[in-house]
Chains A and B, each alone.
Chain A
Amino acid sequence: MKASPSLKIKTIIVLALVVGMQPILRDLLAEADLFRKTGGHNRFTILIEKLSGIKAGLEEYNLKPFSKIGFFMDVKDGGLYNREIIGMARIAIGPLIVVQDTDQEKIVAYFQNAIDIDKFCREKGLRLLKDFNNGIFLLENPGN
């Protein structure tokens, strides 16, 4: 017995709905679960928001677009995480060119753990220019 055209079409519609919905529902459940666990907070957003705040602070130091600025962070894995953090810093304070070293004249330091900044500056031979009160500091390298 041959199926009627309308039955075939009904089958197609049901199949299309299943095929179309299946990945959406799967991803919805997975992403909603992740959202519940993280509360929607993301380390990248937090960092960019923190760093965006320092951009206005940098203006008083007359840093022109495309001048280099050093970047230091206390948490180092030497791999993906650090590269992502540097990337976020570049997006946040570009068009300044963020370079991961402390040899530049001005340096942005990002501390995720508690730090005695004066002791850190003494050890590294740097000078504190500004504390943004959120783990971000603007430092100067007097030897440069």
Chain B
Amino acid sequence: MLILILMLALALLPAFFLVQTLWPDRRWSGTSLPLRASLSIGLGLGISSLLFFLMLNICGSFSYVTLPLELIILGLFVFTAWKANARKQPIGAEKASLPVSATSGPFSKTLTVGFYIALGLAVVVFVLYTTKRPVGSWDGWATWNLKASYLHNSGAEWNLAFAYWELSDYPLLLPGIIARTWNAIGDKCLLLPPLTAFLFTFATLGLLVAALTCMRSKHHGYLAGLTLLGVPFFLENGSWQTADIPLSFFILATLVMFVLNDLQVENRGGFIALGGLAAGLACWTKNEGLLFLFALVAARFLVKFRPANIRGYIREVLLFTSGLMPAMIVVGLFKIRFAHENYILADQSYSAILEKLTDPTRYFMVIKYFFSEAFSLFNVSFLLFPILFFVFRTTGDKKYMESISTHLVMLFCICCGYCLVYVVIPVPLEYALLTGLKRLILQFTPGMIFLFFTVIATQEELLCVKTIKVT
């Protein structure tokens, strides 16, 4: 158990120091600590998976090279964080680049206590789900855990594994994390897959709450957290040990980094590089991550590109690419050397695809199921959105609105992409929609909740406006 914890710490710590290196604030603690810690969990696990796959290619399934390399990287990131901190200017309260949240107000304690009770109960529910399904759902064990099992101590001929996998074009973030740690502890510890799922599920919740607490207000953070916990499928899917929640983590992390970057007074670019890393890890998690990356780049170009600001745009692209590249090199290596052709293209002819694309009934069915599955996913928590919007209205701050509009364009591009994939899918359409669409919507749910709570006014802004009107 101790060695399992040590190995997970060795995965998470380098990411914490990397985040600290790129964070504009030099303080190690402070209000952004929970945000940096949540971010480090997903990024750390993701980076360890990238390293594992690279080392597989170089040395085979052999842990004695990976571990010293991870220690060297940890030392390197500690050094860069220390050096970078020495160069950063302290951010005083008057120069704070991000709004400081208020912590008092009506019902503040009730909300805080209520959130933490809900969080505690959510942990218990997750553990009970895991007890029922210790190896995860069907996809959890038949795809992700099985792949990890084949990569664990598979010797020099580890690449034979690809001959026996179904869906062999799926990237290997989750199997990589699990096989890396199993190799290091020398045993298939069955606690690891659910523990990884736990870390991703609660890091997603933590990232959502911490980001909104930092950027908007503590109340917004807790309200968003309760809204996410109110999505019944979130905890259940998290315990299934599939890649949907890890993907939702990386999508949320990318959005948080971009919005933080857009709000900065002094743009130092660290957020964009971290956003690039998170987007790259989304591509290493599931193929849907590639669609997300494409939609994000297209939306930023459509909304942000102005001939007058071409230098700023190119700088953003370069910073984003610098974060994105490590993961994309691994994704490229995997796709070129190992991945089989995707079944959507491999299992049907181009004329069959064209026939489906020109069939309007397929589009209607996808749109109909999109709404019904979204409603079924959110259940009663759907009600919260119009009510919150009616009470708080939108924030008047232009910076927020511009940043959010970019990401709304991105979400629209993604919806169009999913729609097209479903229209041409080579399995019975209704079956595909019923078994997969809810999970696809879930992948974007934390990100959508984050955008929603970013755009609506905070309690403090609302009370402030009312006070000004009265005076």
Contacts and interface: CB of A to CB of B under 8 A. Distances in A.
B261 interface: no
Given A17-B226, A87-B142, 7 more contacts: A6-B105, A12-B392, A19-B230, A20-B227, A32-B128, A42-B131, A45-B190
B387 A20 contact: no
B384 A19 contact: yes
B459 interface: yes
27 contacts: A5-B463, A9-B459, A9-B462, A13-B110, A13-B219, A13-B223, A16-B111, A19-B383, A21-B117, A22-B230, A23-B235, A23-B379, A28-B124, A35-B131, A44-B133, A44-B134, A52-B188, A65-B153, A65-B158, A87-B141, A88-B135, A91-B135, A94-B146, A94-B150, A95-B149, A95-B153, A95-B154
A64 interface: yes
Interface string A1-39: 000011011111111110111111111100110110010
Contacts of B149: 90-92, 94-95
A97 B110 CA distance: 55
Interface string B354-371: 000000000000000000
Nearest to B160: A66
Given A13-B107, A45-B134, A91-B141, A64 B155 contact: yes
A54 interface: no
Q: Which of A22, A32, A49 has the most CB of B within 10 A?
A: A22
Given A12-B388, A19-B384, A23-B230, A95 B150 contact: yes
Interface of A: 5-6, 8-17, 19-28, 31-32, 34-35, 38, 40, 42, 44-45, 48-49, 52, 64-66, 87-88, 90-92, 94-95, 97
B132 interface: yes
Contacts of A15: 383-384, 387
Given A16-B384, A17-B226, A24-B125, A34 B107 contact: no
Contacts of A90: 146, 149
Contacts of B230: 16, 19-20, 22-23
Contacts of B110: 13, 17
Nearest to B388: A12
B463 A6 contact: yes
B118 interface: yes
Interface string B155-188: 1011011011000000000000000000000001
Q: Size class of B's contact patch? A: 35 or more
Q: List the 6 shortest-distance A-B pairs measured between CB atoms, nearest first.
A: A20-B226, A94-B149, A31-B128, A23-B232, A19-B230, A66-B160
B135 A17 contact: no
B97 interface: no
Contact of A44 (B135, B160, B235): B135
B146 A17 contact: no
B229 A24 contact: yes
Interface string B380-397: 110110011001100000
Contacts, number: 164
Contacts of B222: 16
Contact of B152 (A17, A19, A20, A95): A95
B121 interface: yes
Interface string B428-471: 00000000000000000000000000000001001100100000
Contacts of A25: 121
Contact of B236 (A9, A27, A87): A27
B134 A21 contact: no
A26 B229 CA distance: 12
Contacts of B188: 52, 91-92
Nearest to B228: A20
A31 B110 CA distance: 27
Nearest to B147: A94
Interface string B103-117: 001110011001101
A17 B463 contact: no
B135 A48 contact: yes
A92 B327 CA distance: 30
A136 to B, nearest CB: 16
A34 B459 contact: no
Contact of B232 (A9, A27, A34, A40): A27
